[in-house]
A and B are shown apart, each in its own frame.
Chain A
Amino acid sequence: MHKFVAIVGTNSDKSTNRKLLQFMQKHFAKQAEIELVEIKDLPLFNKPADKQIPATAQAIADQIDQADGVIISTPEYDHSAPAVLMNALEWLSYYIHPFADKPVMIIGASYGALGTSRAQEHLRQILDSPELRARIMPSSEFLLGHSLQAFDDDGNMIDQTKLAKLAGLFRDFETFVDLTKQLNHANEANRQEIRDLDWANL
């Protein structure tokens, strides 16, 4: 059974993105083990000269290391990913590289109709940067619009068409994870390149 880490891309107490991940955790429980990860306790990234990474960031990095893949559910703030998610990714690329070659599935929920399309595009661009080098599942997008109305009182997704799409994508992601395991010929080189990236000595 696959083991996934699911990052809640917000520090908001009431989040439809958290709801979405909680729903997936429950709904796909027979297929995969999904562990929710919160990023709200990370301090604001300030590029510390001593290269010290907070223990909370290191803990998340370790969880990611041990997972087969990462699911990130992002809200959309100002047509982009929220600062708190960008902040987590800054820590998770500062002299540690848990995302290198890690399969990632991007999803998102928003109050409006568009369902975080722009934030997901932004997140894709970030995860693709040389310090992160994640393996983002290509040509797939799960946009949950009108997210405040998307779940019933038990936290189940109401729209069955949407749910079918999500289930399909989740299956695809599992396949993608397995495929990625075979795309391993450059892993070592990638890791080396990333380790050589040292901002302080550029």
Chain B
Amino acid sequence: MKLVGIAGSVADKSYNRMLLKYIASHFGDEADIELLDINDVPLFNQSDDQTEGDAVQYLKRKIEHADGIIIATPEHNHTITASLKSVIEWLSFKIHPMAGKPVMIVGASYYDQGSSRAQLNLRQILESPGVDAVVMPGNEFLLGDVKTAFDDQQNLKDERTVSFLKTTLEKFLKFVTVINDMNKPEDPGWEAEDLESHGKVETTVEGVDMHAADWVEKAAEKTHAAEGDDYVKLDRGLLTVNQLNYFLNSMPMELTYADANNQFIYYNHFLEAKDMLAARTPAQAGNPMADCHPKPAIPHVKQVIHMLRTGKTDMFRLPVPGMGADKYVMHYYKAMHDADGDYKGINELVLDIMPMVNYYLEHTGQMLVKDPDAETDAVSGASSRSKAAEKPAKPEVDEVSGASADAEPTAEPEKPAKPDVDEVSGASSNS
């Protein structure tokens, strides 16, 4: 779980900041808590809109990506500080990143009753319609007499305080789960996947026809793409574009990149289409995924993408028969994510695993034996399909084909052995 912490002070020294730091380090095993700095946020002024400024945008981004917020508030004149109120005003003026976010309030004060009034006030402010946060009810963590509460290492001294804080935090973690579950947008369902790629993601190259055979060249020109001996900094290393190509083209498998907008933007091009396990041609790069699949396969392609996008599964496996009895071709669809966990598309890996199996058997002195209890007869399933493969018409492109058949993809003997319907095979078992 990812939480952000905001201490309501811009003073050089703040016990509330110390308290949040303590919570973040002491309870690091229970939640990943990142402290957000509010020092650079200007005092709210409706006539001088700084919503687009770095300081406010930084808070917006961090809050949007967090599951919940912990606010530690000082108490000044029986209320919260102007510095904290100002932050909340920015986050309720033109943008509303706290809307629906679970919030836990804590507070430290010099007095024994400290921060109780500020906490009550803060609760009221956070629940006003422009802010619309969801504050955890009940629990109040008040750290009074704060000047004597920490030891030299900035740890809380009192065991009972620590254990109460732990209980409160654990409750909050449950609260966050419940609230976020409740707020989850209604899943539009797999039908909403747009294989025509009408949408756009931040990397989409606009103004270049996705269907064009020279999409790669045009899009490269438009983006001033690195090429040849240009260096590219990677996690973790530095390669030239040429080196990247050597590297990807020597992978013992066929790789395809489909982005989050369902646009097919790359494959490692080291074979002619006719020699590939899942045929692709150079002209196809850039196409919307709909172009790369026969119509009947579309629903199942959508189902797989949707499962990957929504995180129902991180990798979808699909054996695709039809390449001959000596081959066992696997298609792996792996979801890709950025550092924030946002979906970035699919890495499709296609390879024949039989060479590996054979190598293993040979080098360990073993052989394959049929399992008498097996329910699915994968081998015969494959060979019945191989008849289809002998026909000249090989499925055009079948990357995300036959989607939902993960469980028993080859166990649908009633399907006609016609190559372009082949994609659809075993599809519906998952839907």
Interface residues of A (CB under 8 A from B): 10-14, 40, 43-49, 77-80, 82-84, 86-87, 89-90, 93, 118, 122, 125-126, 128-129, 131-132, 199, 202
CA distance A99 to B10 in the complex (A): 24
CA distance A146 to B196 in the complex (A): 49
A47–B89 touching, CB < 8 Å:
no
For the complex with contacts A77-B89, A125-B117, 20 further pairs of A-B residues with Cβ separation under 8 Å are A11-B43, A11-B45, A44-B42, A44-B86, A45-B81, A46-B12, A48-B11, A49-B11, A78-B92, A78-B130, A82-B44, A83-B44, A83-B89, A84-B82, A86-B79, A86-B85, A87-B43, A87-B83, A90-B81, A122-B121
B121–A80 touching, CB < 8 Å:
yes
CA distance A118 to B130 in the complex (A): 14
B347 CB → nearest A CB, Å: 45
B374-399 contact mask (Cβ, 8 Å, vs A): 1 or 0: 00000000000000000000000000
B78–A44 touching, CB < 8 Å:
no
A-side contacts of B180, CB under 8 Å: none
A128–B86 touching, CB < 8 Å:
no
B270 within 8 A of A: no
B43–A78 touching, CB < 8 Å:
no
CA distance A99 to B80 in the complex (A): 19
A93 and B77 in contact (CB under 8 A), knowing A12-B46, A14-B47, A84-B43? yes
CA distance A197 to B125 in the complex (A): 28
A40–B45 touching, CB < 8 Å:
yes
CA distance A202 to B125 in the complex (A): 29
A-side contacts of B110, CB under 8 Å: 199, 202
Residue of B nearest to A85 (CB): B82
Most buried by B among A79, A129, A199: A79
B89–A44 touching, CB < 8 Å:
no
B78–A128 touching, CB < 8 Å:
yes
Give 24 pairs: A residue, B residue, CB < 8 Å, sorted on A. Answer: A10-B46, A11-B43, A11-B47, A44-B43, A45-B82, A46-B83, A47-B9, A47-B11, A49-B12, A77-B44, A77-B92, A78-B88, A78-B128, A79-B124, A80-B125, A82-B85, A83-B86, A84-B43, A86-B85, A87-B86, A90-B76, A122-B79, A129-B78, A199-B110
A200 CB → nearest B CB, Å: 9
A126 and B83 in contact (CB under 8 A), knowing A46-B10, A79-B124, A79-B125? no
Give the interface SS of chain A, mostly helix, strand, loop or mixed: loop
A126 and B79 in contact (CB under 8 A), knowing A44-B86, A82-B89, A83-B85? yes
Interface residues of B in 123-141 (CB under 8 A from A): 124-125, 127-128, 130-131
Interface residues of B in 156-206 (CB under 8 A from A): none
A49–B13 touching, CB < 8 Å:
yes
A-side contacts of B42, CB under 8 Å: 44
CA distance A2 to B111 in the complex (A): 39
B293 CB → nearest A CB, Å: 51
B-side contacts of A126, CB under 8 Å: 77-79
B94 within 8 A of A: no
B77–A90 touching, CB < 8 Å:
yes
B147 within 8 A of A: yes
A-side contacts of B45, CB under 8 Å: 11-12, 40, 84
CA distance A116 to B9 in the complex (A): 26
A-side contacts of B81, CB under 8 Å: 45, 86, 90
A-side contacts of B124, CB under 8 Å: 79-80, 118
B-side contacts of A13, CB under 8 Å: 47
B-side contacts of A125, CB under 8 Å: 78-79, 117, 121
CA distance A11 to B44 in the complex (A): 8
B-side contacts of A11, CB under 8 Å: 43, 45-47
CA distance A48 to B14 in the complex (A): 11
CA distance A93 to B130 in the complex (A): 29
A-side contacts of B121, CB under 8 Å: 80, 122, 125
Most buried by B among A77, A89, A131, A132: A77
B-side contacts of A199, CB under 8 Å: 110
Residue of B nearest to A99 (CB): B77
B77–A129 touching, CB < 8 Å:
yes
CA distance A49 to B13 in the complex (A): 9
B-side contacts of A14, CB under 8 Å: 47
A50 CB → nearest B CB, Å: 11
CA distance A82 to B43 in the complex (A): 10
B91-125 contact mask (Cβ, 8 Å, vs A): 1 or 0: 01000000000000000001100000100010011
CA distance A80 to B81 in the complex (A): 12
CA distance A122 to B128 in the complex (A): 13
| Contact among A44, A122, A132 with B83 in the assembled complex (CB-CB below 8 Å) | A44
CA distance A122 to B78 in the complex (A): 10
A84 and B44 in contact (CB under 8 A), knowing A45-B82, A49-B12, A90-B76? yes
Interface residues of B in 332-352 (CB under 8 A from A): none
B134 CB → nearest A CB, Å: 15
Residue of A nearest to B11 (CB): A47
A-side contacts of B12, CB under 8 Å: 46, 49
A-side contacts of B82, CB under 8 Å: 44-45, 83-84, 86-87, 90
A46 and B11 in contact (CB under 8 A), knowing A14-B47, A40-B45, A199-B110? yes
| Contact among B11, B77, B128, B147 with A202 in the assembled complex (CB-CB below 8 Å) | B147
Residue of B nearest to A121 (CB): B124
CA distance A79 to B88 in the complex (A): 12
| Contact among B77, B89, B127 with A132 in the assembled complex (CB-CB below 8 Å) | B77
Interface residues of B in 346-367 (CB under 8 A from A): none
